[in-house]
Structure 1
Amino acid sequence: MPDTPSRAAAVARAIEDDIVASGWRVGESIGSESELMERFGVGRASIREACRILDSRHVATPRRGPGGGLVVTAPDRSAVLDHASLYLEYTGFAPGDVYSVMETLEVSAAHELTATIDSAGIDRLRQVLSEEAAAEDFRERAVTVHTEIARLAGNSVLELFVHIGNNLARLHGVAPTESERAWMHERNIELVDAIVAGDAIAAARAVRRRVRAMTKREALSADRNPTSKVDDRS
């Protein structure tokens, strides 16, 4: 069969399906260029284009030398976050939409974790709180209390979307003042304390207070109100 862009895409998809089916074994060599040509019955151009597609998707990458060939790689979460941000910039979105989704996701993650958290999880959340308190601007942190709660809850889908929401808020939200950061940190302490106590209702309340205050602040900023502050009355 002649080499065509569609043929290369089909080969890339077949390789990707095999990687998923085999358990995504990072570092495993799928085969050399000549082996892949023979396996799929295509020319060198199609295999090289398929490898380029897989590399761009962070699925597998060509590697030279012994044990090389096309090697399985770990997907890069930062690429997903960047693409999500670019897509929403293209389609257009309001910060309030981000916070609405964040509230739903974070409440769900906190609810799941209150029923399952163990001593190691408690220690990890306390550590993240400590790191957050020491950070000059914890919005710049890739790992937050909320992304860690989602990770510890054991729901990888929830964790990914909390990371996306966190990244969007960091990139497109209004930078908080020092007093606002302190206020949000206090809400995060309340959230962790509630999870440790197994109190899902209090955990949800802590999430909602923080997110709704952030939503109100963004709305005030959009109205060009220079005196907007995080409001503890939410």
Structure 2
Amino acid sequence: MPSAVARTGPVVARALQILGAFTPDRRSLTLSDLSRHSGLPVSTVHRLVAELVAWGALERDPAGCYHIGLRLWEIGSLAPRGLGLREAALPYLEDLSQVTRENVQLAVREGTEVVFVERIAGSGAVPVLTRVGGRFALTATGVGLVLLAHAPADVQELVLSCPIKRYTERTMTTPHQLRVALADTRARGYAISDRQVTMDALSVAAPIHDSHGEVVAAVSLVVHHGSASTQALAHLVRTSARAISRALTPSTGP
């Protein structure tokens, strides 16, 4: 019969299973919850959780439930792709937010998903389903369409070969629809997501390039559908994207 270690894997893998039990919908978990969602025995969870709490990766509240700890957030914030990009982009995102009073979003591609690096919510802006650090499908959002349009061909084919989630009646769910949308995005220099995530939102996004000309991120405005023209939004977003791209390009000096 296999040992407990063989069944549950190395210590680091088991610790990651525990951390992976937390999701946006599961932010507070008991020991039994952690055992159930991680697939590990309660005794194993109890021992590892004590170590994770001592290190600061988890915190325990007075009711006995566990939450992601502040130290884990501190470590995560050091990720260079997120931190450097966010620091370079933030002044331009704030300018865009002040001008429009709308939702401004910054995102990168991680595999076959979008990861949101920053989001600034405007006063009275349309509610959105995204959050900083959250993941979303590449096929529905404005930033996702930009990043997918400029992704390697094998990534595009993988995404288009998998089932495509429908969020609203207007969500593009066929490979043909998406191929047309991706081609249009590359041709005009920005993406449009019109009521594809929620029926009250329009998103326009543009690519951000690094010093080698590669698309490394995307910036978007998300507004109430019908409140502004896509051309006006595209001009603002593309201007911000170009400014961020310049900020990511080191100056060679004289």
Q: Which has the higher contact order (CA 8 A, sep 6+)?
A: 1
Bigger radius of gyration: 1
Between Structure 1 and Structure 2, the one with more strand by share is: 2
Q: Compute the TM-score of the two structures, normalised by the length of structure 1.
A: 0.33
Q: Compute the TM-score of the two structures, normalised by the length of structure 2.
A: 0.31
